[in-house]
Structure 1
Amino acid sequence: MLVKDMMKEPVRVQAEETLDTAARKLKNENIGALPVCQDTRVIGMLTDRDITMRGVADARNVSQMTVREAMSAEVLFCFDDDPIEHAATIMNQNHVHRLAVLDRGNRHLVGVISLSDVGGGTSQRRPYEVIFHKTFTDHSGHPHHSELMRISVAQGTKAEAISTAICQFEQLNKVTVWHQLADGYDVTSVRVDAEGATVEEREPTSEREARILRRAREVWERAGTPEGRDVQFWEQAAGEIDREDHPRE
């Protein structure tokens, strides 16, 4: 059986629509997630949790905040002519409940398929979320973070998740380097403890780590963007930053 035999008609939202519009679609359709489109191209997914965590919990005005600001930018998808088992494998391996279904020819959104559609089991949160933010100072002089975008990454190490998220952030916001728009980012990791409970830990990125990451990317680009040398470039960048901060007398 193929995905197109079991997928549902897609209910979508455009990236520049407001969160309250998206919330009404979720409620009216009794669904938990919406593919986010830029015209006909899928660029992200928006869940009810995204609206709660990035809009309501942060006291943002959901009638003015756009879907683009709250969506998860990672897009997992399958094609409508894929075997249903292939879609189930993607969802189980990446710990997601739903996939966008694309037409293989023009890659336009043609449907949505969920684990419940294919008889799959329960799913877990994705292992990492990278939250990009701007820093501002309030009237009392205290610094605060204003979240710009949250990107979920399902696979890889923490360093690989950060690298993937940065690339997506730059592409979606059309900037050369992420710090042209953001002042920093935090990393949220998700794990299951010994008692089977899900534990979420948020780690603020230090200024040193952010500087090393920027320098490592510069070194990597100067070297011609080779693969498999991430550790070498990170160590070289860390050494350069530390020597700059603590020059020998």
Structure 2
Amino acid sequence: MKEPVCVQAGETLDAAARKLKKENIGALPVCLNNRVIGMITDRDITMRGVADARDVSKMTVREAMSAEILFCFEDDRAEDAETIMRQNHVQRLAVLDRGDQHLIGIISLTALSGGVSERRPYEVIFHKTFTDHRGHPHHSELMRITVAKGTKEEAINTATRQFEEMNKVKVWHQLADGYDVTSVHVDARGATVEEREPTSEREARILRRARELWERAGTPEGQDEQIWGQAAAEIDREDHPQD
């Protein structure tokens, strides 16, 4: 069990999004003082905040949270906690004191399984851009999707399709303003290195064109690289018609 990581009910959605990003998790217990009153997920922020055009810098966590709470008590068996997580398809569980039921910790499925979860080679992080009262832009993370196989371009295509399906939008940029791609590799010294690349406007345009070409071709399998190359060539010709 680890020290509890939660968000207070009165905090804003953008504060919750930053905490989710910092902890690299998809859900947080919502607390009123030390008592758990709900859960907030990245999807809650997306669907109840951003998708409804609410101001996430003012909307509180309590307005978007789910009142359904998954938890175990500190004296429960580890096997029972693991069963709760596996049956409900979650990675983390709030641990409560059996007496006054206040939050005392967080247990993860990885910890119970006795190992470190394998990092996948690519994470695509979709974000919405908000401007503060000083006119400074800030990114609020909407969702991160990990992809285990393929090239970066294939990972982006896979992630955008999942993002569109999960959020029920035709194209990802109807909801998100951009995405970053995080890759993980081991350097010559054996150290794990994480690199995060922001979306370029050219990449975003290529992605949209590639999706159009793919759908026009009847959604074929195994042609991602060819379609991406065709889309890139078309965009570059449009930008530099005389080259």
Scaled by the length of structure 2, what TM-score is found? 0.56
Match of 1:244 in 2: 238
Unaligned 5+ segments in structure 1 are 1-17, 37-42, 45-58, 69-97, 103-108
Alignment of 1:1-249 (within 5 A): 22=29, 63-64=61-62, 101=86, 109=88, 114=109, 121-248=115-242
Q: 1:200 to 1:143 in 2, by over 3 A?
A: same
Percent of counterpart pairs with the same letter?
64
CA contact (8 A) 2:30 2:65 kept: no
Question: What is the CA distance between 1:154 and its match in structure 2?
Answer: 2.9
Match of 1:71 in 2: none
Post-superposition Cα deviations, 1:124-174, rounded to whole Å, max 9, x if no partner, equal: 433221111122344444433222222222333222221221111111111
In 2, the alpha carbon distance for the partners of 1:101 and 1:226 equals 34
SS in structure 2 at match of 1:175:
coil
SS in structure 2 at match of 1:182:
coil
Instruction: Give the count of matched residue pairs.
Output: 174
| One-letter identity of the residue aligned with 1:198 | T
Unaligned 5+ segments in structure 2 are 1-12, 17-26, 45-56, 67-82, 92-107
Question: What is the CA distance between 1:227 and its match in structure 2?
Answer: 0.8
In 1, the alpha carbon distance for the partners of 2:195 and 2:109 equals 27
In 2, the alpha carbon distance for the partners of 1:111 and 1:146 equals 23
CA RMSD of aligned residues (A): 4.2
CA contact (8 A) 1:190 1:198 kept: yes
In 2, the alpha carbon distance for the partners of 1:199 and 1:65 equals 38
Scaled by the length of structure 1, what TM-score is found? 0.55
CA contact (8 A) 2:129 2:137 kept: yes
Post-superposition Cα deviations, 1:202-236, rounded to whole Å, max 9, x if no partner, equal: 10010000100110010010010111111111111
